[in-house]
Amino acid sequence: MTKAVVVTDTQWDTYRYRVRSAAMVTPVIRELWLEPIGEVLPYRPGQYILFADDRYAVPQRSYSVANAPRADGRLSVLVTLVPGGRTSTWAHEISVYDEVSVEGPFGTFTTPDEATSPVLLLGAGSGLAPVRALAEALLDPSRPEGAAGRRVTLFFSGRTARDAIDRERFEEWCRNVPQFDYRLTCTRDAREQRHTRIPALLPGEFETLRGVEVFAAGPSGFVTACQAAAEPLGAATVDIRTEEFFTDPAPWYDTVPPIESAYGARAPMQEGSS
């Protein structure tokens, strides 16, 4: 069993960044690389930021940092375009060199440096962001998180191969990094080796998850289904970490209608059916 992670949110601050590059990495996800203008945001792999324009014309929204901390301080975010969504639409329209506000770090979707257990990373859609940051850190022996050489399996779910962000990079890691395994499922492409949703696949893929630290990130329905599938396989509740990309309710409406998802009405994001 892994020791609980204690990460306080008390040391958050606001930082100025500039868009260094922007690219669509799937039909609905834009990756932004941000570079610091002044001070660099300190964070642990797996944490998230509050992101908005530098004049707060759009509401601040939570986005997981999609890379492990780097010497140049650059941050990547993977933003799914939510139809009618204010901040995600803005993030899909901003230009290189635009200045943005980054507040953080936040969250406990992190792993203790001293842990040695195997790690299972589960992501769907832009839920790849925090698990990619964790994978980068865990596989880098020069980082505290990577010192133990923990076994890391990254299981990613998309609809089709076009949603498989960084597939080539992860497949190359698989060939070159013995402690790493990458498994992909494409839920709308029967030609792929795996095309069933991750929660349903887990019992066939893993005999047991006893002693494994499990991380699941993405739409709420995906995350809760992964948690429900991991527990019967022996993963200890304390070892299952979740990051639900829920959508903030708009307080000026009485109710927020549920948005349909293959995982159930709680999942609000378009990629929920992956």
Ligand X SMILES: Cc1cc2nc3c(=O)[nH]c(=O)nc-3n(C[C@H](O)[C@H](O)[C@H](O)COP(=O)(O)OP(=O)(O)OC[C@H]3O[C@@H](n4cnc5c(N)ncnc54)[C@H](O)[C@@H]3O)c2cc1C
Tell which one of 2, 47, 76, 88 touches ligand X (CB under 6 A).
88
Select 62 or 209, whichever has its Cβ closest to ligand X: 62
Q: Which residue is nearest to ligand X (CB)?
A: 85
Cα 243 to Cα 81, 144, 176, 263: the distances in Å are 18, 22, 29, 16
Residues in the chain, total: 274
Candidates 75-83, 94-102, 179-187, 205-213; binding stretch for ligand X (CB under 6 A): 75-83
Residues 41-70 that bind ligand X (CB under 6 A): 48, 59, 61-64
Stretch 125-144: interaction string toward ligand X, x if CB under 6 A: -x--x---------------
Structure tokens of 33? 């690389």
Q: Does 160 bind ligand X (CB under 6 A)?
A: no
Select 182 or 245, whichever has its Cβ closest to ligand X: 245
- CA-CA-CA-CA dihedral for 119, 110, 90, 57, to nearest 10: 170
Strands (E), the chain: 13-24, 29-36, 48-53, 61-64, 75-80, 99-106, 119-124, 152-158, 180-186, 213-218, 240-244
Say how many Å lie between the first and final Cα of the chain, rounded: 30
| Residue 68 DSSP code | -
Select 57 or 190, whichever has its Cβ closest to ligand X: 57
Select 179 or 247, whichever has its Cβ closest to ligand X: 247
Candidates 12-20, 113-121, 149-157, 239-247; binding stretch for ligand X (CB under 6 A): 239-247
Select 156 or 206, whichever has its Cβ closest to ligand X: 156
Tell which one of 8, 71, 72, 84 touches ligand X (CB under 6 A).
84
- CA-CA-CA-CA dihedral for 58, 48, 127, 36, to nearest 10: 70
Q: What share of the chain is helix, strand, coil (3-state, %, to 5)?
A: 25, 30, 50
Tell which one of 86, 151, 167, 266 touches ligand X (CB under 6 A).
86
Tally of CA atoms within 13 A in the half-sphere of 42 that contains its CB: 7
In contact, 134 and 113? CB cutoff 8 Å:
no
Tell which one of 114, 171, 248, 260 touches ligand X (CB under 6 A).
248
Q: How far apart are CA 33 and CA 19, in angstroms?
A: 6
Least distance in angstroms from the C-beta of 182 to ligand X: 20
Q: Does 156 bind ligand X (CB under 6 A)?
A: no
Least distance in angstroms from the C-beta of 34 to ligand X: 13
Residues 252-271 that bind ligand X (CB under 6 A): 253, 256-257
- The site for ligand X (CB under 6 A) is made up of 48, 59, 61-64, 78-80, 82-89, 126, 129, 243, 245-248, 250, 253, 256-257
